[in-house]
Structure 1
Amino acid sequence: MGRTIVILVARLIFAAVFAMAVSFKFAGMANTAAYIAAAGLPFPLLLAWLAAIFEVGLILAFLTGAYFSDAALLAGAYVVFLAFAFHGPSHWQANQDEFGFFIDHFTFLAGLLFAAVHGPGERLALRKGFVWKDEAASAN
């Protein structure tokens, strides 16, 4: 029972982090686009909307457990991209806090990779995915 609770709490934390991010995007899509443009990326408004849609998909995957491992891997790649695009070495000279933000993304990546390998748990999880099947589920 304790393992199940811990896994569900972790899934809720992953979902909550992306829910906060997407809520800021929907509350101020123009501000998000301006931030993306300041990083030098093309088509900032389009990228802002694509990021919001992607984050909604991640939230659904983390909450339902469907495509959980796939979502965790994609979220990990996304987090690494965000680390370099918005907090990478080119930002450290102007603001040393950016180095801390950069490192924080890799801590989050570690959790996402661990989650991708171990899956969504045995409770409250839709067993669907592309990358690999959960060995426990496929044994039944």
Structure 2
Amino acid sequence: MSTNTPTPLWQSAGILVGRLIFAGVFIMAATFKFLGMETTAAYIASAGFPFSLVLAWVAALFECALAICFLTGAFFSEAALVAAAYVLFLGFTFHGPARWAASQSQFGFFVDHFTFIAGLLFAAAYGPGRILALPLTVIGRARR
């Protein structure tokens, strides 16, 4: 049974601010990749991946797509789930246990990824809210 109780303004505002923060993080990440594509490709190659320049471009474009989903609210839950998987992959690949011996700060970077993942999973479950959100979805969700 579903009830249509109005969402308090503070919740709607909080969800919108969260969406803007998620979008901002991915916009910054994509911008840094676009501004230093060769550097990004070298970092990807250092993790042992082939075709690092192609992967750098794919990552930058993917991050732009995530930002668009977070800004518009379209496919929000799907984007948040995919982003959580992406951030988990990045955490293990670029800051995982194999890198901890070389630098203790890598462990901190690794753990930080999990706090971001937790936020993304919560966002996926809760949805984009009602403010400035396009009602497009594949997996379905309760509109709040």
Give the AA of the match of 2:50. Answer: P
Is the aligned partner of 1:134 residue 2:138?
no
Detail structure 1 runs of 4+ shifted over 6 Å in the superposition.
none
What corresponds to 1:78 in structure 2? Answer: 86
Q: Distance in 1 between matches of 2:23 and 2:64?
A: 9
Report the TM-score when normalising by structure 2. Answer: 0.92
Report the TM-score when normalising by structure 1. Answer: 0.95
The equivalent position to 2:13 in structure 1, one of 5, 25, 31, is: 5
Contact 2:127-2:143 within 8 A present in 1 as well:
no
Q: Offset at 1:135?
A: 2.3
Count of residue pairs the alignment pairs up: 136
Superimposed CA distance per residue, residues 46-88 of structure 1 (whole angstroms, 9 cap, x where no aligned partner): 1000001100000000000000000000000000000011000
- Cα RMSD after superposing both structures: 0.9
What corresponds to 2:58 in structure 1? Answer: 50
Is the aligned partner of 1:61 residue 2:69?
yes
Q: Distance in 2 between matches of 1:25 and 1:135?
A: 35
Percent sequence identity over matched residues?
Answer: 60
Residue segments in structure 1 that go unaligned for 5+ positions in a row? none
Residue segments in structure 2 that go unaligned for 5+ positions in a row? 1-8
What corresponds to 2:38 in structure 1? Answer: 30
What corresponds to 1:102 in structure 2? Answer: 110
Q: Distance in 2 between matches of 1:103 and 1:125?
A: 31
Point out the structure with the larger helix share: 1
Contact 2:95-2:110 within 8 A present in 1 as well:
yes
Q: Offset at 1:12?
A: 0.4
